[in-house]
Amino acid sequence: MNISQRPAILIARAVFPEVVERLREHFEVETNDLDAPFTPAELVERLQGKAGMMTTGSERIDAALLAGCPQLRIVANIAVGYNNFDVAAMSAAGVLATNTPDVLTETTADFGFALLMATARRMAESERFLRDGLWNRWALDMFAGAEVHGSTLGILGMGRIGQAIARRAALGFGMPVIYHNRSRLDPQTEADLRARYVSKAELLAQADHLMLVLPYSAESHHAIGAAELACMKPSATLINIARGGIVDDGALASALRERRIAAAGLDVFEGEPGVHPDLLTVPNVVLTPHIASATLKTRRAMADLAADNLIAFFARGEALTPVNAGQLAGG
């Protein structure tokens, strides 16, 4: 292909140089080397003449943006979740959306388990105590937390990551696993995972540890709020590695302060990178900055898959992991 005929793409955030180099073999590439997220107006400006874009969860793709970018044909998200996309608006504009499933499943499940362990066993709280020079004698009940092995794990959302967490819990930690999901798993998968399907009410009431792994949508907004927290055991822990907005963070901070549940571990927040100020002042919460998929190997695999989606789409009209293929207007 003549160099001047190559499609132009925008990489909206800084990505690995090797991935940029690979994309330069196929496209005219504009990058964002400063890595500061573009405002919607800046994005529209940068997208002029661009047929493709690589995004992270920080870039919102909606009807207003699409109206200003008629040449855009594909947006490749470096994330499995794509609630930053208005998929209906993208389909109506004939723009393909892609995500990065599978490559992050096990890494994200590892982190979910790490956050569960850190939360139940009070690791962050006890480390702060030590660093603050407060440890002057040992005590039998010092930072006594909740048991992990053998206790009941509740999983809300049972997709690929939920199942990878269930496997760790059942096979590695001897935990009875209960789950709730929009659709029930087939009996063989349930048997393999040793996971039992329950109603959401049962899940809330029976879980010693509740792990959230469901996608964000209007339906899952504040799926865990004051009413749901009130149904949980006072000894329970809550882990959110899914998306901000699934938990009502203000209601959670109150429940933690009043010890209506024992502890929480949160990797995602409503309005992140902002964090509800009340969460910063309660001791019984472990807070991490949306890093569940953050190993170098996995983040590289995610960026590579997003790049492969762009390359495959422009080479043969089909992406590897499309979200809205078959729904595109004029397609």
Residues paired with residue 139 on neighbouring β-strands, in sequence order? none
290 flagged as catalytic:
yes
* Min CB(170)–ligand 8YV separation in Å: 24
Q: Which whole-number Å values give the CA distances from 92 to 44, 67, 86, 203, 324, in the listed order? A: 18, 11, 10, 38, 10
Helices (H), the chain: 17-24, 40-46, 63-67, 87-92, 105-120, 123-131, 160-167, 173, 187-193, 200-206, 226-230, 249-257, 296-316
CB 72 within 8 A of CB 51: yes
Which of 243, 270, 276, 299 is the catalytic position? 243
Q: Which whole-number Å values give the CA distances from 290 to 32, 58, 203, 268, 274, in the listed order? A: 21, 12, 25, 5, 12
Residue number of the CB atom closest to ligand 8YV: 81
Neighbours of 202 (CB within 10 A): 15
* Min CB(95)–ligand 8YV separation in Å: 18
Looking at the Cβ atoms of 104 and 177, the one nearer to ligand 8YV is: 104
Looking at the Cβ atoms of 178 and 246, the one nearer to ligand 8YV is: 246
First to last CA, the chain: 24
Where does this chain bind ligand 8YV (CB under 6 A)?
56-57, 78-81, 104, 293
* Min CB(23)–ligand 8YV separation in Å: 17
Looking at the Cβ atoms of 55 and 119, the one nearer to ligand 8YV is: 55
* Min CB(104)–ligand 8YV separation in Å: 5
Residue linked to tokens 């874009």? 53
Which of 222, 257, 272, 300 is the catalytic position? 272
Q: Which whole-number Å values give the CA distances from 229 to 86, 119, 224, in the listed order? A: 30, 17, 7
Looking at the Cβ atoms of 116 and 175, the one nearer to ligand 8YV is: 116
Which of 26, 60, 290, 300 is the catalytic position? 290
Looking at the Cβ atoms of 56 and 119, the one nearer to ligand 8YV is: 56
* Min CB(244)–ligand 8YV separation in Å: 10
Q: Which residues are catalytically annotated? A: 243, 272, 290
